[in-house]
Structure 1
Amino acid sequence: AEALRTALATVRSLRSRVEELNRKQGEPVAVTGIGVRLPGGIGSPTELDEALAQGSDMVGELGRVRWDHDALHDPDPEAVGRTHMRHAALVDDVDRFDARFFGISPREAAHIDPQQRLLLEVAWEAFEDAGVPAERLAGSGTGVYVGANSSDYLSMQLARPETVDLYSVVGGTNCIIANRLSYQLDLRGPSMAVDTACSSSLVAVHLAVQSLRSGECDAAVAAGVNLLLSPASSVAHSKGLPLSPDGRCKTFDAAADGYVRGEGVVAVVLKRLSDAISDGDRVYAVIRGTAVNQDGRTNGLTAPSGRAQRECIT
């Protein structure tokens, strides 16, 4: 009888553990902090809300903001070495960075991709927004997941071999972008850059959610970053990819004739909802589910598939 009672107690304990694991695997994830640097001078969640409510248009003509657009523009998208792109949504002051605040020397800062620099600032602001001071982060198992697709800045540096040094490689390679944030803030959880092209930041969020649910980390920052610093990628995009000639996406409209390139840096702090409630955190939103798939063999490597996207969200 005693052995039976012991066995039943063990079964109940194991069943309870299984139920707890199942609960955690599907537990909602809370967004507790947000940092943004977006076109139109948007630098806070409040400013983003206001811009959306007003229907503000942040797309403008390129002019000479990034490069001499007139010298490279041609209405013919197939013109060699030229682009028909005339518009973009650009972030202000991407060349500014408070290197001293992060303890980075002026020499190293000059070689660091502005994408890495802005990520440091925006992630810091996201943690501040979440009410988490930097000293509490140091040594924690916080995870870092950053969606980053390209580095125009590295290409620009490599085009001038006489100026290249170790700082150029470390400062311009996307594989370092998440690691730099982990290093600067002494974060010891998973740290990785994610490159899945246009979906990079969404996949970064997906991986962060998976990590939180599995118990791999108790807090995470998921981010996405993109800056247009060189005309080369825009010239390449003109050759076969549908860039809108008038700078308007016209989503789901019969008149849609392409997309518009844009910039931005966004970071969100994520925690399991139960932990956020227990800690008294402000909760902006709740993520209840994420999913990732691939189109497989469709009508083109870069062509989107409506079927695959339906399968992903259902």
Structure 2
Amino acid sequence: VLFAGGIHDERSAAMAVAAAAPLAERGARIGVLMGTAYLFTEEAVAAGAVTPRFQRAALECADTVLLHTAPGHATRCADTPYARTFEETRQRLARGGTEPREMWEELERLNLGRLRIASKGLRRGESAELEAVDEERQYADGLFMLGQAATLRGGTTTVAALHGQVTEGATRLLERRAAELAAADAGERACGPAADPLDVAIVGMACAYPGAPDLAAFWAQVLAGRDAVTEVPAERWDPALYYDTDPARAGERTPSRWGGFLDPVPFDALAHGIPPSSLAGIEPVQLLALEISARALRDAGYGKQREFDRSRTSVVFGAEAGTELAGAYGLRALHPAYLGELPPALDEQLPRLTEDSFPGILANVIAGRVANRLDLGGANCTVDAACASSLAALDLACRQLRDGDSDMVLCGGADVHNGINDYLLFASVRALSPGGRCRPFDSAADGIALGEGVGALVLKRLADAERDGDRVYAVIKAVGASSDGRSLGLTAPRPEGQRRALERAYARAGVSPSEVGLVEAHGTGTVVGDSTELGVLSAVFTEAGAGVGSCALGSVKSQLGHTKCAAGLAGLIKAARAVHTGVRPPTLHIDRPNPAWQAETSPFAFDTEARPWAVPVERRIAGVSAFGFGGTNYHAVLAGYAGAQEPEQGREDWPAELFCFRGEDRRAAGRAMARLAARLEENDAAGRPWALRDLAAEACAGGS
């Protein structure tokens, strides 16, 4: 068996040895073929195999190209003037409609004698005799045939030295590498798992959360410290029927009539290839996930104008089943068994099953519809880890990239479970705040306010993102996961489980908690949950040597409510924007911190307003937690990207803009103002799709 192609030094020969080992054990005789490597030997020039100019071309070679003459016929050579002439000729013939066979013959004739010019400096003259050419003509007209290995060598050698490299040198390299691996394995057994960062780039983001219909509005809301929790809208459920503060009725009634609710999100069904007549049979969470996923791809620069390998793009969403639409179908199906035939009024009100209904309520179709409508051919699945679902989706998405199964992943979290059934379920476990506010890490915290939302990320391997010139918001270094194991109950947090998730995340990231400047906590505002999480975080960070008050601690739930399956991603998007912009966002409703926090000793501080994160971007490191019922714990570690261009400002839109008007006279300027007033009315009527800055730019650009 002969191995050929790229063998030129110790490492390449060692790779061939490793590949050949199973064959050698079975008695096969192994050999190698080398070509390009010999071009760098002194003997190649001394013996006249090639001229000095050919060897210099090999030494100067920074890249190679393939010259295609016919299907299956290609020649690899240095990227020289002749190589470019060949390609221009090939394209000209193709554009001119030359028959394939005629084109192949002409390209072969063009190549004829070019290798002799390059290697010997000889060409056949008009008299058919060989004649010498000068080095300038040799380089311009010659075909310098060599392999890609030429780009990896930078100096000449001898045949003896080359043979030593690929024999004894390869053996020494393998022995040295085996010793290093053995030492590393011994160290790992002694010291625990070695750092193995994921290095997954976040190249696109999109979201819709309470009070924030898009990514820019979400970040602006976070920085402004606005609380989006409101009283329940009348169209969702009726507080007069279900609101009651009597603890004895918890589960039959709800002690809270507040929450974070999504504003209407525009959705163009036809643009997504969905017949409008089908919408009534599709759970809105599927449509929201599709819309936000499409936005995330556009944010990453992969809209309709930029091609990418859709067959290797996966979709992973965190979500749960049990939608309001499914409940309505269930009521229609079960009513006759319990109460007889449906009354006409109820029969008219409840939805009827159609061919769209079954897929329209399935949780797995949240991801499936995204993959279907966006024509993505990688894996697609929906994962349910309760309130940790979106970080569980992140974990699976990163594994898809790490294992090489996907080149891009759309990772999302979606939750619109803010119906009355959800309120009653949370009320039954005494989790809701009677005051209607999430107050994470405040001594007056008394429970959660429910929220809803959808978020999506576009993820790529960092090396691929760098290669493709993608904008990188942040780099995911690791995701740590754990279970609580056996404990007193399925809904109570357990410190040991949370600690395991944190320790695994930071060990894999190769990051000490003492380096972290921001923690976006699970932080639900429940008494037991907050004190448990704060105690675990404080212990882990203090043991790592974190300085007093060195890390900002907060929770976006203080502004949105608990968005459940979408909560982890809300925190991750907040942390990624903080890392990217260099702004540490505030956390709300902390008047008197939880007693588990001590200002004199705690590694954490609570920022009540946005502050500069004045460290180099690569040192902006954040941790994000999400925990779910059933004892599931996730913690993600992300860091700034050193190659990122610093944003000019911390937010994309400002609450005020300067409007400038110009005209030949006062009347012309007045007409410009009138046009702006009409445009503002149009913008308000359409839900403000145009940013204030764009309207200001339009006004400034307009003349009389």
TM-score by length of 1: 0.89
Q: Distance in 1 between matches of 2:277 and 2:330?
A: 17
Note the C-alpha offset of 1:275. Answer: 1.0
* Letter of the structure 1 residue corresponding to residue 410 of structure 2: V
1:55 to 214, 220, 225: 225
Q: Which of 195, 200, 208 pairs up with 2:389?
A: 200
Cα distance, 1:101 vs structure 2: 1.0
Give the letter aligned to residue 295 of structure 1: D
Q: Name 1:110's counterpart in structure 2.
A: 280
Alignment of 1:1-314 (within 5 A): 26-40=197-211, 42-79=212-249, 81-93=252-264, 97-134=267-304, 136-137=307-308, 139-150=310-321, 151-161=323-333, 163-228=352-417, 230-314=419-503
8 Å CA contact 2:383, 2:393 repeated in 1: yes
Unaligned runs of 5+ in 2: 1-163, 180-193, 334-350, 504-704
Query: Does the CA contact (< 8 Å) of 2:407 and 2:461 recur in 1?
Result: yes
Structure 1 contact 142–218 (Cα < 8 Å) conserved: yes
Q: How many residues are aligned here? A: 309
Distance 2:389 2:329 in 1: 24
| Matched position secondary structure for 1:49 | helix
- Which structure has the higher relative contact order (CA within 8 Å, separation 6+)? 1
- Find the counterpart in structure 2 of residue 20 from structure 1: none
Gaps of 5+ in 1: 16-22
Offset from partner CA, 1:229-249 (integer Å, 9 cap, x none): 531121122111410111112
State the distance in 2 between where 1:249 and 1:289 align.
Answer: 28
What is the SS of the residue equivalent to 1:159? helix
Residue pair 2:202, 2:472 contacting (<8 A) in 1 also: yes
CA gap of 1:11–1:165, structure 2 versus 1, over 3 A, is: farther
Corresponding residue for 2:594?
Answer: none
1:155-187 residue CA offsets vs partner (Å, 9 max, x unmatched): 223323471233211011102111111111111
CA RMSD after TM alignment: 2.8
Following the alignment from structure 1 to structure 2, what is the Cα–Cα distance between the partners of residues 3 and 131? 48
Distance 1:188 1:245, change over 3 A: same
- Aligned to 1:308, the other structure's residue is in SS state helix
Q: Which residue of 2 aligns with 1:19?
A: none
1:45 Cα offset (Å): 2.4
Q: Secondary structure at the match of 1:292?
A: strand
Q: 1:153·1:229 contact (CA, 8 Å) conserved in 2?
A: no
Paired position in structure 1 for 2:86: none
Letter in 2 for 1:298: S
Residues 27 and 229 of structure 1: CA distance in aligned 2, closer, same or farther (over 3 Å): closer
Deviation at 1:108, TM superposition (A): 1.9
Instruction: Tell whether the 8 Å contact from 2:198 to 2:398 is kept in structure 1 after alignment.
Output: no
Local SS of the residue matching 1:189: coil
- Structure 2 residue matching 1:197: 3-state secondary structure: coil
Amino acid at match of 2:320: N
SS at match of 2:307: helix
Amino acid across the alignment from 1:170: P
Task: Output the CA distance in 1 between the equivalents of 2:247 and 2:362.
Answer: 30
Counterparts of 1:24 and 1:154 in 2: how far apart (Å)?
A: 45
Q: Which stretch of the first structure deviates more once superposed, 214-223 or 133-142?
A: 133-142
TM-score when normalising by structure 2: 0.41
CA distance in 2 between partners of 1:11 and 1:106 (Å)? 67
Q: Is the 8 A contact 1:138 1:186 kept in 2?
A: no
